A and B are shown apart, each in its own frame.
Chain A
């Protein structure tokens, strides 16, 4: 079965300190992995995606994530948090298979990031 687990439902950091949002996945197939961000009352914005190329993926707004197959992890990091980073973050997996017609996305439960001044 395919699944995504975001290990923290809420993370709080101070402005200017590093951000780490943790994500583990389970997939019987070669996965594609995404991080999306959702600001309050907004749609989802793609931060970055991994699709079997480089394992270290750089995204927008200074975020990056590293695909570690041995650990089945895809943690999201940022060296220095900004107030505008406060939002909900979703780790998402998809995969290519006859069992995934339409390329359905499997969402984690989300991590709420708070940034303190």
Chain B
């Protein structure tokens, strides 16, 4: 099973709302990733968790707050977003996130619209 699940599929929020995106995998992977993808563009890495510790933050604004409660779950907490944050948010996982290149398995994404 190479499935990564994400909820919700779609999310509409106002600029003052607080919401969370959820990602789950049951492949025993120890690395999980958040990406942001704008239309007609490749995904941009936001955060990497390896063994439940934040290993990479690509200078993402603090209105995005990641959380990794355990090795299977990854959350992205959203607060005071801007309309330009509207995008497809993709979660991915890989075996360990070590320096050896690994295949990343992507979820279907959450389509976020900020009004």
Contacts and interface: CB of A to CB of B under 8 A. Distances in A.
B90 A110 contact: no
A5 interface: no
Contact of A98 (B55, B99, B104): B99
B60 interface: no
In this complex, the interface size class of chain A, counting residues with CB under 8 Å from chain B, is 20 to 34
Given A44-B43, A105-B45, A49 B103 contact: yes
Contacts of A51: 101
A117 interface: no
Interface size class of B (residues with CB under 8 A): 20 to 34
A42 B109 CA distance: 7
A101 B99 CA distance: 5
Interface of B: 4, 6, 31, 40-43, 45, 48, 50, 55-56, 88, 90, 92, 94, 97-109, 111
14 contacts: A31-B101, A36-B106, A43-B108, A43-B109, A44-B92, A45-B106, A51-B101, A96-B101, A100-B99, A102-B55, A102-B97, A103-B102, A104-B48, A110-B41
Contact of A102 (B40, B48, B90, B108): B48
Nearest to A102: B48
A57 B60 CA distance: 36
A67 interface: no
